[in-house]
Amino acid sequence: MGAASGLMQGGPKQGLYEISSTAKHRLGERLVLSDGREFVYCKAGSSNLSAALFHTYITSPTHEDTVTVAHTAGTTEVTITASGVSANDFAEGYLVVTDGTGKGEIYKIRSNTATGGGGSGKIKVVLYDPLITAWDTSDTDVDLYPSPYNGLVVNPTDAQQRPVCVTIRPVTANYYFWGQVRGWAPVEIDTAGASAGQELDEKLVIASTNHAGKGMILGSPTASNGDYANIHPVLGVIVKEADVADNTVTLVDLML
């Protein structure tokens, strides 16, 4: 059977405001409420997460430059050379064929084994869907990516990663939680040194480059920061028609 859609079937096993030390849903599973708010199932990284902040992943893929084990089309279990990998590090993540035979194909990962003694060797990766193209040991290159909802951290001030959710409550390190991605959500706002919120150009929320995790609105757009807003994705829109005080929480129509 192929990969599931990611939308929840039936009711949630974990309440919207609950956190859990064990997974009760698959990472990336979606919860859509009747009022249009949408949430995704996430896991915090090694630090506690605060409420009303943007959070993201920081990751580098595991790369195998030319696979050493050939696999036929139709298999859902592949072997990858890797080091320092623990069991299910890549669960609900993605395998991408980056070059050679099969280039451009992507597969969602169901599970993976750990590397052997000494932290090096090979791992078995189980895919939700079978390979379309057989792997060739002469040229097939692959990357393994963890789930973008695993090990989340507060969005850094370099704003290089797109945030994947907003927290609606504090979350303990390494706990599972529902992160909000759509609809009206509380977000702590950096107004870039000026009150903002009434004019159209004062309502668009981007990632702050002054305070980790906060949203930022530009109260006095210029050619310089206007260009900045153009190259950094809009994360949401301020809801209220009034000035927003710097470093306070306000309601944002979230669009992650």
Write the pLDDT tens digit of every residue in 200-226: 556 888 898 889 999 888 665 555 555
Per-residue pLDDT at 235 exceeds 50: yes
Q: What is the mean pLDDT of residues 180-187?
A: 97
Q: What is residue 134's predicted lDDT score, i.e. its pLDDT? A: 98
| Contacts (Cβ under 8 Å, ≥6 apart) of 73 | 130, 131, 132, 133, 134
d(CA 187, CA 237): 11
Q: What is residue 231's predicted lDDT score, i.e. its pLDDT? A: 61
Q: What is the mean pLDDT of residues 56-79?
A: 94
pLDDT tens for each residue of 126-162: 999 999 999 999 999 999 999 999 999 999 988 888 8
Q: Using the 8-state DSSP alphabet, how is residue 155 labeled?
A: P
d(CA 200, CA 181): 22
Q: Which one-letter amino acid corresponds to residue 149?
A: Y
Please return the burial class of 30, using the count of CB atoms within 10 Å of its CB with bins 0-12, 13-18 and 19+.
middle
Q: What is the mean pLDDT of residues 1-12?
A: 58
Q: What is the mean pLDDT of residues 153-176?
A: 94
C-alpha 56, offset from chain centre:
6
Q: What is residue 204's predicted lDDT score, i.e. its pLDDT? A: 81
Helix (H, G, I), strand (E, B) or coil at 227: helix
Q: What is the mean pLDDT of residues 159-171?
A: 93
Q: What is residue 1's predicted lDDT score, i.e. its pLDDT? A: 41
- Higher-pLDDT residue of 224 and 172 is 172
